[in-house]
């Protein structure tokens, strides 16, 4: 029995070495609610090389908005040097983050570049004068990346980014709390923009949405156990079974 227990212990130790989880600066879930916004708009580029400390280039309204260790800004748009996101006010006098067709979308990353999970957010895109109903193919895109900085987003279309690891669309007209797919459980940045417009529209397209209560947590990274380790564990279990049979025969 001692030999069997030893072998079983070795088997479980080998399996345990194959599991683990990624570490990050964020431990407990946080909710970004934008209540700290002090400027009417923010024009900071969050997807490009930061300045010292991980902040976006620029300060105040020319920089990013910061809350709970995260930088919230826009994608650098070479066609529109004054692109920005907005500080919108809700009926209860709370703040929302607004994005419409004078910008290249909303880009969010941890200031230190660490990984995190995007769990849910309040996504408000009701159909109205500034957000027309243009058919079922009009959707918003949420893209998750495995790097914090992605400087070349202006040339893509949502499907051909090599660092994209998560993707989800939101129907135009959606107005409520959105739960994110499991693929967003371990990302380093995410980008929200209207499909087909990685840059500020130059064709007169109109759209508008507001964002609030972004729930972010520590990354959840399940590491698959390699097949070779499973085979190793199976072989050890076989030895345990064989040892028990031999011991039983000797005691008969």
Asked if residue 225 has pLDDT above 90, the reply is no
Q: How far apart are CA 210 and CA 163, in angstroms?
A: 26
Asked if residue 4 has pLDDT above 60, the reply is no
Residue 233 is predicted with a pLDDT of 44
Q: How confident is the model at residue 6 (pLDDT cuts 50, 70, 90)?
A: very low
Pick the CATH number of 30-217 from 2.60.120, 3.40.50, 1.10.600, 1.20.120: 2.60.120
Q: How far apart are CA 220 and CA 216, in angstroms?
A: 11
- The mean per-residue pLDDT over the stretch 113-142 comes to 93
What are the DSSP E strand ranges found in the chain?
Answer: 30-32, 41-42, 65-67, 70-73, 85-89, 95-100, 106-110, 117-124, 139-145, 164-171, 175-179, 189-194, 208-217
Residue 155 is predicted with a pLDDT of 73
Contact 76, 138 (CB under 8 A): no
Residue 28 is predicted with a pLDDT of 86
Q: What is the pLDDT of residues 15-66, one digit of tens each?
A: 232 333 334 467 789 999 999 999 999 999 999 999 989 999 999 999 999 9
Residue 184 is predicted with a pLDDT of 98
Contact 183, 167 (CB under 8 A): yes
Q: What is the pLDDT of residues 89-120, one digit of tens each?
A: 998 999 999 999 999 999 999 999 999 999 99
Domain spans of the chain, in order of start: 2-20+224-251, 30-217
How far is Cα of residue 134 from the mean position of the Cα atoms in its chain? 28
**Eight-class DSSP state of 180:** P
DSSP-assigned states of every residue in 77-89? -TT-TT--EEEEE
How far is Cα of residue 132 from the mean position of the Cα atoms in its chain? 28
Q: How confident is the model at residue 250 (pLDDT cuts 50, 70, 90)?
A: low
The pLDDT mean for the chain works out to 83
Asked if residue 232 has pLDDT above 50, the reply is no
Phi, psi at 57, each rounded to 5°: -60, 145
Greater confidence (8 vs 127) lies with 127
**Of 67, 247, 107, the residue nearest 187 (C-alpha):** 107
Beta strands 95-100 and 175-179 are unpaired
Structure tokens given for 217: 């947590």
Q: What is the pLDDT of residues 153-194, one digit of tens each?
A: 977 666 689 999 999 999 999 999 999 999 999 999 999 999
**Of 214, 201, 9, 207, the residue nearest 97 (C-alpha):** 214
Asked if residue 1 has pLDDT above 60, the reply is no
Residue 44 is predicted with a pLDDT of 97
Q: Over pLDDT 90: what percentage of the chain? A: 67
């Amino acid at each position: 029995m001692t030999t069997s227990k030893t072998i079983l212990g070795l088997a479980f130790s080998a399996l345990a070495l194959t599991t683990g989880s990624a570490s990050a600066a964020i431990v407990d879930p946080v909710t970004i609610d934008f209540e700290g916004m002090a400027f009417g708009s923010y024009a900071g580029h969050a997807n490009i090389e930061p300045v010292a400390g991980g902040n976006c280039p620029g300060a105040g309204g020319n920089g990013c908005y910061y809350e709970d260790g995260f930088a919230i800004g826009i994608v650098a748009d070479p066609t529109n040097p004054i692109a920005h996101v907005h500080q919108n006010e809700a009926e209860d006098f709370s703040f929302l983050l607004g994005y419409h067709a004078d910008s290249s979308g909303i880009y969010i990353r941890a200031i230190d570049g660490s990984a995190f999970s995007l769990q849910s957010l309040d996504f408000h895109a009701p159909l109205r004068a500034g957000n027309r109903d243009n058919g079922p193919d009009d959707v918003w895109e949420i893209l998750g990346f495995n790097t914090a900085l992605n400087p070349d987003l202006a040339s893509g279309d949502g499907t051909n980014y090599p660092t994209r690891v998560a993707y989800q669309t939101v129907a135009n007209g959606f107005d409520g709390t959105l739960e994110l797919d499991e693929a967003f459980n371990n990302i380093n940045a995410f980008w929200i923009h209207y499909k087909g417009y990685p840059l500020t529209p130059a064709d007169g397209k109109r759209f508008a949405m507001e964002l609030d209560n972004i729930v972010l947590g520590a990354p959840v990274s399940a590491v698959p156990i390699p097949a070779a380790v499973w085979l190793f564990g199976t072989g050890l279990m076989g030895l345990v079974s064989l040892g028990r049979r031999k011991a039983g025969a000797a005691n008969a």
